[in-house]
Amino acid sequence: MGWIGPKGEDIPPHPRQEPRFEGDLTADHIRFIFRDCADFGEREVLIGGDPEKRTTVFFINGQVRNERMNDYILRPLATSQLLREATPEAAFRMMTEGIVYTQLVQVCTTLDQAVFALINGSVVFDFPGKGKMVSYFAATEEKRSVSAPDNEPSLKGAKDSFVESLRTNTSLVRRRLRAPELKIAEIFAGRQSVTPVDILYLEGTTNPELVEETKRRIAGIDTDDLLQTASLEELIVDEVDTAFPMIAYTERPDRFCAGLVEGRVGVIVDGIPLGYLLPGTVGQFFKTGQDRSQNWVAASFLSILRYLCMLGSLFLPAFYVASVNFHPEMIPARLAWSISEAKTDVPFSTVFEVLIMLLAFEAVQEAGLRLPGPIGQTASILGGLVVGSAAVEASIVSPVVLIVVAIAGIAGYTVPSQEFSAALRIWRFGLAIAASIGGLFAVTALAAVLVYRLAQLESFGVPYLTPFAASGSEREKGHGVIRWPTHRVKFRESALKTRNQRRQG
């Protein structure tokens, strides 16, 4: 049964067709599937130079590396004396057992196998009458080189980051975690994109139920494409009706490996230069790659500072609105006099000033992100000058409002996760509006709603407020706000329910 559309029309279901292509494995079917494809190529090859032994090779230009196909595949097949003297059956067997200089050889028995081998960069040889084809992997390795991370700079640590190539990313992980217990399961998602998705975990450490649940959710993705991050994130998380991110991601392999050692499940998608770590909890979004690279006292101080800045970014505009409108007795007399004098020529209410400045701050930030680098920097500087100094001089906003909004904005940038910071900015608007309606009582009530909402969330069966929702026992030491010395952190985080709880002796 299909769906009923908005105009009452019957929309057919989204069938999952297996196999994708039906029919016998023949050269004509291959040609039919890749008809009207300018990059599809084929040519005839004489095996061993014998005119009686002919085969047709299929390939896709751009997917295969020409030197690899010519030198390591076509040349041995065309010049081998053994193939020239062998019978057709013996020649077919030798072609699958090592006469060609490539390590990945596959005997295709179905049309799907041959088609996807071509798409993935193999050259496929047809042998009429056998019902089989032989594919040799000769894919091009053109990709962006490994470089320093852009969004997670490292002051004292590794300087490499994930790229768009799946195998390059898994090799970056293997170079750090050399344990044979590191397992990599692969699932293809997206009907049209057929995107490889790798699931990484440490066998014997990671909770098996978490691994199976991750595999089940990714295997259940039923969409045409898996090309953007949201295509994966929104289809496997427990809750999508929230602004807060439910999955942590990183572009740094060292941080990704640290998550695997903690007992989390890692997910890497081909074409996306990020590594996901499941489950996602609040504690993850406030950690940085530097926390384990510097002295534990300094790291703990900075961690506490990030949490305090988060609270300031969230509540400072609302606290200012509530204090000016409803609780002026909370403001020192001299400061209250300065605020009152600064607002003398401003025609707008306090909440309107704050909201206007918050919106202007978001607009300037969005413009700086979307424009090209040099233009974006110019637009940010110009926007800051116009929105800041000019607005104050024109008596559109008071200087105190400008200071409050600037402090809240800068404090929000201390949150390592930009997605978590974006969610806080959304709630910052709501808290400011609540403060204009009911003062600190309304702010407290809405803050309680926020905490209640976060307490409801779970990520793959783990409370979202972990480690604040944890028991606080010895096993939680080193996983909260304070970064304890490494030799004192004996256990892994209990909320992950790892099979091996102890992380060191």
Tell me: do 303 and 214 sit in the same domain: no
Domain count, the chain: 3
Residue 103 CA: distances (Å) to CA of 58, 73, 186: 19, 11, 20
Residue 164 CA: distances (Å) to CA of 146, 304, 374, 454: 10, 35, 25, 33
Tokens (6 digits) for 461: 């069966």
The residue length of the chain stands at 505
In 3D space, the residue among 15, 418, 453, 14 whose CA is nearest the CA of residue 229 turns out to be 418
- As to burial, measured by CB atoms within 10 angstroms (0-12 exposed, 13-18 middle, 19+ buried), residue 9 is exposed
Q: Angle at the Cα of 469 (from 419 to 262), degrees rounded to 5?
A: 70
Tell me: do 301 and 368 sit in the same domain: yes
In a domain, 4, yes or no: no
Tell me: do 172 and 211 sit in the same domain: yes
Tell me: do 337 and 445 sit in the same domain: yes
User: CB neighbours of 313 closer than 8 A, spacing ≥ 6?
Assistant: 408, 409, 411, 412, 414, 415, 421, 424, 425, 428
* CA–CA distance, 351 with 401 (Å, rounded to integer): 10
39 is in which domain, residue-wise? 27-137
Tell me: do 185 and 300 sit in the same domain: no
The amino acid occupying position 232 is L
In a domain, 349, yes or no: yes
Tell me: do 56 and 203 sit in the same domain: no
Tell me: do 262 and 170 sit in the same domain: yes
Tell me: do 252 and 303 sit in the same domain: no
In 3D space, the residue among 397, 395, 290 whose CA is nearest the CA of residue 353 turns out to be 397
Query: Is 300 strand, coil or helix?
Result: helix
Tell me: do 440 and 306 sit in the same domain: yes
Tokens (6 digits) for 12: 């057919």
- As to burial, measured by CB atoms within 10 angstroms (0-12 exposed, 13-18 middle, 19+ buried), residue 388 is buried
Q: What is the pLDDT of residues 174-231, one digit of tens each?
A: 999 998 999 999 999 888 888 999 999 999 999 999 999 999 999 988 888 888 888 8
Tell me: do 183 and 255 sit in the same domain: yes
| Helical residues (DSSP H) of 251-349, grouped into ranges | 253-262, 282-285, 296-325, 333-342
Q: What is the pLDDT of residues 251-296, one digit of tens each?
A: 999 999 999 999 999 999 998 999 999 999 998 899 887 888 888 8
In a domain, 156, yes or no: no
* CA–CA distance, 4 with 52 (Å, rounded to integer): 60
Query: Is 138 strand, coil or helix?
Result: coil
Q: What is the pLDDT of residues 439-481, one digit of tens each?
A: 999 999 999 999 999 999 999 988 999 888 765 554 566 677 8
What is the β-pairing status of strands 105-108 and 133-137? antiparallel
Tokens (6 digits) for 32: 């039919």
**E strands within 350-480?**
458-459, 462-463
In a domain, 354, yes or no: yes
Last residue of a domain, one of 137, 155, 175: 137
In a domain, 481, yes or no: no
Tell me: do 74 and 216 sit in the same domain: no
The amino acid occupying position 324 is V
Q: Which residue has the tokens 């006099």?
A: 337
Tell me: do 306 and 450 sit in the same domain: yes
Last residue of a domain, one of 91, 119, 137: 137
Tokens (6 digits) for 112: 């799907």
In a domain, 119, yes or no: yes
Write out the chain's pLDDT in tens, 505 residues.
454 545 555 666 666 667 778 888 889 999 999 999 999 999 888 887 777 778 889 999 988 988 888 888 888 888 888 878 887 778 778 888 878 888 888 899 999 999 999 999 999 998 877 778 999 998 887 778 888 888 887 777 788 899 988 989 999 999 999 989 999 999 998 888 889 999 999 999 999 999 999 999 999 888 888 888 888 888 899 888 899 999 999 999 999 999 999 999 999 999 899 999 999 999 889 988 788 888 889 888 999 999 999 999 999 999 999 988 888 888 888 878 877 777 777 777 888 888 988 888 888 777 777 777 666 666 666 666 666 676 776 777 788 888 888 899 889 888 888 899 999 999 999 999 999 999 999 999 999 999 999 999 999 988 999 888 765 554 566 677 888 888 788 888 888 888 888 877 6
